[in-house]
Amino acid sequence: MVDYAALFSRNLPRAVSSPPGSDAQTRYIFSVTNAVPEVIDSDEYLTAIRAGLESGGPNSLAAYPPTGGHVGLREFVAQRLASNRGFNASPDDVVITDGAGGAINILLDSFINPGDPVLVEEFTYMGSLRMMLERGAEPVHVACDEDGMLPDALEEAINTLETAGRRPKFVWLIPVYQNPLGFSSSMQRRRALLEVAQSHGIPILENESYADFQIDGDPLPTAFSGLSDQGDVFYVSSFTKLLGCGLRVGFGVLPPGVREALPQVNAQNLPRRGVSHLATMMVYEYMREHEAEHIENVRNALLVRRDAMLSALEENFPSFCEWTTPRGGMLVFVRLPEGADTWATLAKATERDVKYNPGGVFRADRDRNNYLRLTYSHNSPEEIREGIARLAELFREEGYFEG
Ligand SMILES: Cc1ncc(COP(=O)(O)O)c(C=O)c1O
């Protein structure tokens, strides 16, 4: 018998705690920002794959993809960012990755040493938080209001770290339809945060994975990447939420000049480890044909689902609980009374076929579990109403609705 435990690498990621029940399969899935299932049209996807294969000839799949990924898709991304996000990137600085998560992985691998502080929002997307914790980084949460991270709190957090001789590696922001808090930062707030970060020479990571998911909110202000001319903002986003999480196609945009210096991007073997060229071809061909119509279909589907979730919360949760009213994106963040423990209750919820995310998964210390995040992109409006009623019943039985 081989003792595999004795053979494991000493560099395995550190263990990060997950709430009991998080692996369960349920009918009511309020725990993942999946793409909306009905907008995936298999015939159109197959047509896009065929177009991709035919346009490139047999070499398109026979050869390894270029470093940085599909050239047409990189140009397409650069054009979209210029027209939608006020950000003029060179296609050479766009790197196609396996989802936004792939781009985040490259950045963390390239920059993070164990013990490095990273300044993150008060609650931040659990996936990148987990990646930081696995690498031994120290995410430092900074207070937020409904306009995003608070510039004064950011300044204070940086000063505290610098006084202790520690230098934060990034100011890490999700400034549009923030996951899980739901806010989109105004232009004024963006400028104020940029000023603080720049005055300390700390780069910003902006994750705009939800920029295409406006429901009925105001148009989004220019991206941080379009506001700075200092080459100090990294951008990541994805096609996964729009076209399908299973596609695993996202991208990063590096500040000018950084690409050449990043071993994780330039390694000779990167094309062999990168994202599937077939998937990127499909995304490219499909988006060129169907972008506007697809985004409109997603918007309409999310509008109905969001409204179903908000009215189900209104009907089933007491008024002293609070929740966000998202104007875009795919999630609602809920606050229960102090003492409620959504981390502990998740396993019971899954026994009733409902899954959600406890507040603690968005926090480095796994605290603040009187909060929970509910996503509405996956289930139908009818299922959303059923699932929320089931959840309310459980929380009532647990005594969370006693005020
Ligand atoms: C803010 C944010 N960033 C990144 C991701 C990961 O996206 P992808 O599936 O493209 O890796 C998610 C998925 O939920 C997310 O919410």
HEC string of 291-336 equals HHHHHHHHHHHHHHHHHHHHHHHHHHCCCCCEECCCCECCEEEEEC
Is the CB of residue 172 less than 8 Å from the CB of residue 128? yes
Minimum CA distance residue for ligand 1 atom 9 = 99
- DSSP-assigned beta bridge partners for residue 118: 139
Q: Is 175 in the pocket of ligand 1 (CB under 6 A)?
A: no
Beta strands across the sheet bearing 233-238: 94-97, 250-253, 233-238, 204-207, 171-173, 117-121, 138-142
Cβ count near 187 (within 10 Å): 11
Atom of ligand 1 nearest to the CA of 104: 4
Contacts of 182 (CB under 8 A, 6+ apart): 324, 325, 326, 329, 331, 332, 333
Q: Is 240 in the pocket of ligand 1 (CB under 6 A)?
A: yes
Residue type, position 180, single letter: P
Q: Is 245 in the pocket of ligand 1 (CB under 6 A)?
A: yes
pLDDT number for residue 262: 78
Q: What angle do CA 380, 291, 204 make, to 5 degrees?
A: 90
Distance 104 CA to ligand 1 centre (A): 9
Q: Is 101 in the pocket of ligand 1 (CB under 6 A)?
A: yes
Ligand 1 pocket test, candidate residues 30, 33, 107, 236, most atoms within 8 A of CB = 33
Q: With a cut of 80, say whether residue 146 has pLDDT above it.
A: yes
φ/ψ bin of 367: left (φ > 0), alpha (ψ from -120 to 50), beta (otherwise): beta
Token pair recorded at residue 256: 């000018």
With both helix axes pointing from N to C terminus, report the angle between 381-397 and 342-351 in degrees, rounded to the nearest 10. Answer: 120
Q: What is the mean pLDDT of residues 243-256?
A: 96
Distance 209 CA to ligand 1 centre (A): 6
Q: With a cut of 70, say whether residue 272 has pLDDT above it.
A: no
Name the one residue in this structure whose structure tokens are 């204070």: 156
pLDDT number for residue 268: 56
pLDDT number for residue 267: 59
pLDDT number for residue 339: 95
pLDDT number for residue 156: 98
279 by DSSP, 3-state: which? helix
Q: Is 32 in the pocket of ligand 1 (CB under 6 A)?
A: no
Percent of the chain at pLDDT exceeding 90: 90
- DSSP-assigned beta bridge partners for residue 235: 206, 253
* DSSP letter assigned to residue 214: B
Name the one residue in this structure whose structure tokens are 């140009």: 75
pLDDT number for residue 67: 83
Cβ count near 317 (within 10 Å): 20
Q: How many residues does the chain have?
A: 403
Q: With a cut of 60, say whether residue 360 has pLDDT above it.
A: yes
pLDDT number for residue 11: 87
* DSSP letter assigned to residue 246: G
Of residues 66 and 207, more confidence is placed in: 207
Residue 251's alpha-carbon distances to 73, 180, 285, 366, in angstroms, are 10, 21, 16, 29
pLDDT number for residue 58: 65
Cβ count near 307 (within 10 Å): 15
Reference 66, options 103, 92, 40; nearest CA is: 92
Comparing 105-109, 113-117, 208-212, 261-265, which segment has the lowest mean pLDDT? 261-265
pLDDT number for residue 137: 98
Q: Is 249 in the pocket of ligand 1 (CB under 6 A)?
A: no
pTM above 0.75, yes or no: yes
pLDDT (tens digit per residue) in 303-354: 999 999 999 999 999 999 999 999 999 999 999 999 999 999 999 999 999 9
| Element counts in the chain: helices (H) and strands (E) | 15, 15
Q: What is the mean pLDDT of residues 206-225?
A: 97
φ/ψ bin of 136: left (φ > 0), alpha (ψ from -120 to 50), beta (otherwise): left
Q: With a cut of 60, say whether residue 279 has pLDDT above it.
A: yes
Q: Is 250 in the pocket of ligand 1 (CB under 6 A)?
A: yes
Q: What is the DSSP string of 247-290?
A: G--EEEEPPTTTGGG-HHHH-TTHHHHS--HHHHHHHHHHHHHH
* DSSP letter assigned to residue 282: H
